[in-house]
Amino acid sequence: MRRENGKFYTAITGGIGSGKSTVAGMIGKMGFPVFSADKIARDIYRDEKVAQEAAKLFPDCFEGGVADRKKLAAAAFADVEKLKKLNAITHPAIMEKMFALAARAEGEFVFFEIPLLFEGGYEVLFDRVIVVMRDQRARLHAVRMRDGLSEEEILSRIKNQSVYEKIDLSGHTVIYNDGDLSSLQSKVTDAVQEIVSKEN
């Protein structure tokens, strides 16, 4: 369904290490505008209101109003309840900034990479959702190589993202990242072509 501005919004999501950033990158190279929640999140604590609210939850992770993002991430993932509260502060601000950018983007089809889409209940804001799935062993290896986290730290984050085991994915586009990059590219191309052709 087209929006009033004539655009069609598709979210790309998946658990940590699933390959959603790779998928988003492939879609970007196909010529579509892609916005990343993680990239916007890197600067979200420059928003004074967001920083103040987050500092109330994690005062040891802020100095002079500036967030130590690595320290904050470690502290948040160690406390599930505080993580939920932090997400409730940051996610609406991130979504607002992304939609503002998307409204100005060229083209009819706009894609958004959003890690915690279902956890925040934001799937209802999008016309379609692409879910990237991957074997846990491959996810562990990918995150360890990318971020240098321990297996315990990665498993803790995967546990916090267990929503994919509970939701019905039948109404969404699921891409299984279970082969090489060429195989993944083929699946991404097919998924995007299906979305575009259905709406044209």
pLDDT by position in tens, the chain (length 200): 567 778 999 999 988 888 999 999 999 999 999 999 989 988 999 999 999 999 999 999 999 888 998 899 889 988 889 988 998 999 999 999 999 999 999 999 999 999 888 888 899 999 999 999 888 788 778 877 787 778 777 777 767 666 666 677 778 999 999 989 999 999 999 999 999 998 77
- Whether 189 is covered by a domain: the verdict is yes
What pLDDT is attached to residue 50?
94
- Whether 176 is covered by a domain: the verdict is yes
Give the domain range for residue 92: 8-199
Q: What is the CA radius of gyration of the chain?
A: 17
Evaluated on CA atoms 107, 15, 160, 126, the torsion sign reads positive
Pair of tokens at residue 181: 């990059």
Report the predicted TM-score, pTM, of the whole model to 2 decimal places: 0.82
Contacts of 26 (CB under 8 A, 6+ apart): 184, 185, 188, 189
What pLDDT is attached to residue 170?
79
- Whether 64 is covered by a domain: the verdict is yes
Domain count, the chain: 1
- Whether 119 is covered by a domain: the verdict is yes
- Whether 3 is covered by a domain: the verdict is no
What pLDDT is attached to residue 161?
63
- Whether 2 is covered by a domain: the verdict is no
d(CA 67, CA 75) in angstroms, rounded, equals 12
Q: Largest Cα–Cα distance of the chain, in whole Å?
A: 51
CATH number at residue 123: 3.40.50.300
Q: What is the DSSP letter of 32?
A: -
d(CA 127, CA 148) in angstroms, rounded, equals 35
What pLDDT is attached to residue 160?
64
- Whether 22 is covered by a domain: the verdict is yes
What pLDDT is attached to residue 163?
66
- Whether 1 is covered by a domain: the verdict is no
